[in-house]
């Protein structure tokens, strides 16, 4: 099958945004609202089981703060907190606070010059995606992505396949012609349920998750001077040291 497109997850895959980005912004929003909520690094790792910031806050209350007195308009409070969190998060990105992961910019450029189409399928808020691409890559790079499928555009977030199906529909492509890139079990489940072969680059929060359903599991895409480590592979990699287009074509079954 000819490889037609790459579909990227954002948080954890394009950049390590969770621990020092989203988590910090949530805490800033809680403090600004005068709440005694604080998500430390370990607790945030557990909360990541639930995707979506608004959903994550609700899960936190249900699971960890059952006695906290809910206001009559809990939805309104969550929406206001989430808007403040997005403001803090995008301000952090605008300061250049979070770089892309190793090999991401190289892989995107290689794909573009080879005519591989690019798309995004993420749970996060759309403005977080554009802010990351603009500030960690270049402002023009937002236009490199034909489809940016993000946030509440589908009702069911990952691990549901809906966001991948939405992106494929907008691309007008069958899943067999694409590769998905993810960092988490929830993301892998979403991509696989939509029929995409999936490459995983792990991070500290996801390293120990079950990725048996992935076609390749790496610690990073890698660079010529910074080779990847292979954590799991369905096929021989013939000495490859970084994830590039020739490896992508092999994985896609070209």
Direct distance between the N- and C-terminal alpha carbons of the chain, in angstroms, rounded to an integer:
5
Reading phi first (left if > 0) and then psi (alpha if -120 to 50, else beta), residue 172 is in left
Annotate 44-72 with b (16+ C-beta within 10 A) or e (fewer). bbebbebbbbbebbebbbeeeeeeeeeee
Establish if 27 lies at the interface with ligand XBP (CB under 6 A). no
Closest to ligand XBP by CB, 158 vs 197, is 158
| Contact pick of 5, 6, 15, 22 for ligand XBP (by CB under 6 A) | 22
162 binds, among Mg ion, ligand XBP, none (CB under 5 to 8 A by kind): none
11 is catalytic: yes
213 is catalytic: no
Catalytically annotated residue among 9, 16, 162, 183? 9
Establish if 10 lies at the interface with ligand XBP (CB under 6 A). yes
Closest to ligand XBP by CB, 142 vs 245, is 142
- For residue 29, the minimal CB distance to ligand XBP (Å) is 10
122 binds, among Mg ion, ligand XBP, none (CB under 5 to 8 A by kind): ligand XBP
Q: Which stretch binds ligand XBP (CB under 6 A): 38-46, 47-55, 65-73, 138-146?
A: 47-55
Contacts of 219 (CB under 8 A, 6+ apart): 201, 202, 228, 229, 231
Establish if 198 lies at the interface with ligand XBP (CB under 6 A). no
Give the residue carrying structure tokens 């009559």: 72
Residue 194 Cα distances to 103, 121, 176, 213, angstroms: 26, 11, 10, 13
Indicate the helix (H) or strand (E) that contains 5.
Answer: strand 5-8
Interacting residues toward ligand XBP by CB under 6 A: 9-12, 18, 22, 51-53, 85, 122-125, 128, 158, 187
Interacting residues toward Mg ion by CB under 5 A: 9, 11-12, 183-184, 187
- Give the catalytic positions in this structure: 9, 11
């Amino acid at each position: 099958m000819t490889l037609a497109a790459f579909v990227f997850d954002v948080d954890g895959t394009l950049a390590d945004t969770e621990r020092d980005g989203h988590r910090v912004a949530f805490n800033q929003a809680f403090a600004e609202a005068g709440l005694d909520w604080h998500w430390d690094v370990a607790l945030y790792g557990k909360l990541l089981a639930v995707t979506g910031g608004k959903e994550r806050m609700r899960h936190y209350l249900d699971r960890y703060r059952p006695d906290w007195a809910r206001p009559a308009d809990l939805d309104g409070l969550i929406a206001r907190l989430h808007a403040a969190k997005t403001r803090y998060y995008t301000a952090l990105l605008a300061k250049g606070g979070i770089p892309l992961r190793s090999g991401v910019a190289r892989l995107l450029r290689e794909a573009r010059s080879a005519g591989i189409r690019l798309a995004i399928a993420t749970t996060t808020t759309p403005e977080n995606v554009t802010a990351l691409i603009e500030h960690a890559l270049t402002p023009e790079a937002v236009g490199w992505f034909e489809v940016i499928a993000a946030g509440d555009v589908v009702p069911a977030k990952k691990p549901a396949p809906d966001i991948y199906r939405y992106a494929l529909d907008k691309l007008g492509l069958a899943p067999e012609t694409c590769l998905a890139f993810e960092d988490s079990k929830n993301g892998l489940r979403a991509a696989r349920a939509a029929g995409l072969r999936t490459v995983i680059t792990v991070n500290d929060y996801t390293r120990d998750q079950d990725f048996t359903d992935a076609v390749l599991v790496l610690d990073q895409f890698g660079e010529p001077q910074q080779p990847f480590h292979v954590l799991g592979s369905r096929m021989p990699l013939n000495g490859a040291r970084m994830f590039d287009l020739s490896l992508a074509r092999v994985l896609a079954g070209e």
